[in-house]
Structure 1
Amino acid sequence: MTRIVAGSVGGRTLAVPPRGTRPTSERVREALFSRLEHLDAVEGARVLDGYAGSGALGLEAASRGAARVVLVEWGRAAADVCRRNAAALGLADRVAVVRDRVEAYTARPPAEPWDLVLLDPPYDVPDATLAEVLAALVPALTVESVVVVERSARSAAPPWPAGMHGFDTRTYGETAVHLGARSPVPDDEPARR
């Protein structure tokens, strides 16, 4: 059973797609969001949850006060589960579900920069694909934005692109959670804020 850990709908259960996803455990979500709240990265944030699966990460962010959450999921069954979960939790007014490939979605610039990006790709997503997604995100971030990449603890650190850097990694059993941010822009370049 998967539940929202804390916030306005804490304790409520989530439906999980019957196959093809690997929901982030409650233990990992609790630790991750504790760290993100310490960084003041959740309250009022515009959040992108890529490879959403059941939507657990993005819905956890919404429960904890994110202003707007977009769940991006390519699998039809999983996208339907995301929609049902958002509606059942009463969060559909702040949570949008987009059925698209994360690579295609992040290639299009958002109307406003993301404050928090949560990426939990299937463990078999190649590093080159993850690198493409991360590189596409750089112009969609501010220097205050936080990017989270969840991978197998046996995988290498994410391939942070130019313009982004990793600043923390935590391991929870078989799961590694990597935090990154946009690198400060040199003084001769205009900063996007």
Structure 2
Amino acid sequence: MRIIAGSKRRLPLKTVEGKDTRPTTDRIKETLFNMLQNEIYGCYFLDLFAGSGQIGLEALSRGARYVVFVENAKKAAACITENIRFTKSDKESLLLQMDVIAALRSMEGKYQFDIIFMDPPYDKELEREVLEYLKSSSLLKEDTLMITEASLQTDLSYVNELGFTILKEKCYKTNKHIFIQKQ
């Protein structure tokens, strides 16, 4: 696993050992960032269920101003810390090792994000819990873009009830990205 483009291009990243996380493949990551290329520069980026931190670090490499990583698992948080240190991203990032909802609460009134990326464990409806929290959160701007990486079976038809709309879905062989924004 590596950073694909930008100022930290080609830097290798550590991954979390074991099967508790599923790193986004380079091909899918490249497709995602090609879709986001006009949104990344200068943005505040939130990486929820961050795993190894590769998505947030890719955003920093491509010009994001600041990234907050949220990861509860001890091994994964240690991996993110190492990757932040290795890529010399300490000054433009923050790692919160805690439950995602607790982390969101702790950031209220301190941050507003342009892009929120979440890659929760599949088929546990954790993205719904996050979206229910975010519907009335000050962490969102009017045009904050939220992206969920999910299994192909994940149904997000409820987002309209929460005041969000699905802008688009990009399906791959085994998963998909769903792009969501406030209505």
Q: Mark yes or no: TM-score above 0.5.
A: yes
Would you say the 8 A contact 1:51–1:72 is kept in 2?
Answer: yes
Amino acid at match of 2:111: E
Task: State the alpha-carbon separation in 2 of the partners of residues 159 and 88 from structure 1.
Answer: 40
- Residue in 1 aligned with 2:81? 83
Would you say the 8 A contact 2:118–2:127 is kept in 1?
Answer: no
- Residue in 2 aligned with 1:141? 140
Query: Any idea what SS the aligned residue of 1:106 has?
Result: helix
Q: Please say if 1:130 is aligned against 2:133.
A: no
Would you say the 8 A contact 1:42–1:61 is kept in 2?
Answer: yes
Give the alignment of 1:32-47 within 5 angstroms: 32-37=32-37, 40-47=38-45
Task: State the alpha-carbon separation in 1 of the partners of residues 170 and 109 from structure 2.
Answer: 29
- Residue in 2 aligned with 1:188? none
Task: State the alpha-carbon separation in 2 of the partners of residues 26 and 82 from structure 1.
Answer: 17
Task: State the alpha-carbon separation in 1 of the partners of residues 109 and 62 from structure 2.
Answer: 23
Task: State the alpha-carbon separation in 1 of the partners of residues 154 and 178 from structure 2.
Answer: 11
Would you say the 8 A contact 2:127–2:148 is kept in 1?
Answer: no
Amino acid at match of 1:134: L
Task: State the alpha-carbon separation in 2 of the partners of residues 158 and 75 from structure 1.
Answer: 29
With over 3 angstroms needed to count, the CA separation of the structure-2 counterparts of 1:158 and 1:28, relative to structure 1, is farther
Give the alignment of 1:48-67 within 5 angstroms: 48-67=46-65
Q: Which has the higher helix share?
A: 2
- Following TM superposition, by how much is the alpha carbon of 1:68 offset from its aligned partner in structure 2, in angstroms? 0.6
Task: Give CA-to-partner distance per residue, 1:23-58, whole Å, 9 cap, x none.
Answer: 111111101111111xx3211111110000000111
Q: TM-score, normalised by structure 1?
A: 0.87
Would you say the 8 A contact 1:130–1:159 is kept in 2?
Answer: no
Task: Give CA-to-partner distance per residue, 1:53-110, whole Å, 9 cap, x none.
Answer: 0001111111111111011000011001001001101111111111011122123414
Q: TM-score, normalised by structure 2?
A: 0.91
- Following TM superposition, by how much is the alpha carbon of 1:182 offset from its aligned partner in structure 2, in angstroms? 1.6
- Following TM superposition, by how much is the alpha carbon of 1:156 offset from its aligned partner in structure 2, in angstroms? 2.0
Query: Any idea what SS the aligned residue of 1:165 has?
Result: strand
Structure 2 unpaired stretches of 5+: none
Amino acid at match of 1:167: L
Amino acid at match of 1:149: T
The count of corresponding residues between Structure 1 and Structure 2 is 178
- Following TM superposition, by how much is the alpha carbon of 1:112 offset from its aligned partner in structure 2, in angstroms? 2.6
Amino acid at match of 1:43: Y
Task: Give CA-to-partner distance per residue, 1:136-192, whole Å, 9 cap, x none.
Answer: 223221122110000011322374252221111001110100001122xxxxxxxxx
Task: State the alpha-carbon separation in 2 of the partners of residues 13 and 58 from structure 1.
Answer: 14
Task: State the alpha-carbon separation in 1 of the partners of residues 85 and 48 from structure 2.
Answer: 19
Structure 1 unpaired stretches of 5+: 184-193
